[in-house]
Amino acid sequence: MRRIVYCSQSTHDFTPDELVDLLGTSRDNNERDGLSGMLLYSSQSFLQLLEGGDAAIRSTYERIAADPRHMNLRKLADIDVPAPTFPDWTMGFEHVDDEELADDLDGFTPATLYPLVNPDLITNAGVATTLLGLYAKNRVR
Ligand SMILES: Cc1cc2nc3c(=O)[nH]c(=O)nc-3n(C[C@H](O)[C@H](O)[C@H](O)COP(=O)(O)O)c2cc1C
């Protein structure tokens, strides 16, 4: 099983409708392809963890990387893992506001003060995975 974690910046501020649309497509495709994972959106920044079979992960990531709705993709992990982190979610999702993120993460500077959230926030895949796990645990579905 393969895991990819990346962060990116959206090209514009997503409306709720746009997020719903993005998640709908992602969940349908991921269910079809046997993928699971979690997506975090905050201050025009995405952080996503995707897990599944090698071929499916690779082709999905290629589609995602070519998506004009975001840019500056930075891959944080591309590794073999023994088991999925979020086996029940075709794509878990959390939209966090800056204050919430600042409360949860030591040293985080809200994007309103510093526009480039991702390079500052996500220093490595460990931080990314921890962050996703934190929101996964707290979320209600
Ligand atoms: C931040 C972000 C995350 C995405 N995550 C997924 C995903 O997990 N699975 C997926 O199939 N598509 C995902 N997409 C959408 C793909 O880029 C692409 O639009 C979609 O896979 C095309 O599917 P379709 O050919 O069924 O329309 C994501 C796009 C963005 C911008």
- Identify the CATH number of the domain in which residue 58 sits: 3.30.70.100
What average pLDDT score do residues 62-90 get? 92
| pLDDT of the residue at 70 | 96
Q: Which residues line ligand 1 (CB under 6 A)?
A: 22, 25-26, 29-30, 39, 46, 48, 50, 60, 63-64, 67, 69-70, 91
* Residues of the domain holding 101: 2-138
* In contact, 19 and 91? CB cutoff 8 Å: no
Model confidence band, residue 136 (pLDDT cutoffs 50, 70, 90): low
Nearest residue (CA) to ligand 1, atom 8: 26
Buried b (16+ CB within 10 A) or exposed e, 46-61: bbbbbbbeeebbeebb
CA dist 32 and 85 (Å) reads 18
Whether the pLDDT of residue 23 is over 70: the answer is: yes
Closest Cα to atom 17 of ligand 1? 64
pLDDT of residue 107: 55
Q: Which pLDDT score is estimated for 30? A: 96
The SS3 assignment for 12 reads: coil
> For 114-135, how does the pLDDT look when each residue is reduced to its tens digit (9 = 90+)?
333 444 555 566 666 776 666 6
Q: 61: CA distance to ligand 1 center in Å?
A: 8
126/28 Cα distance (integer angstroms): 28
Q: Whose alpha carbon is nearest atom 30 of ligand 1?
A: 64
Pairing, β 36-42 against β 70-80:
unpaired
Bridge partners of 78, per DSSP, are 4
Cα of 60 to ligand 1 centre, how many Å? Answer: 7
| Residue closest by Cα to atom 29 of ligand 1 | 64
Give the three-state DSSP class for 65. Answer: helix
Q: How many domains does the chain have?
A: 1
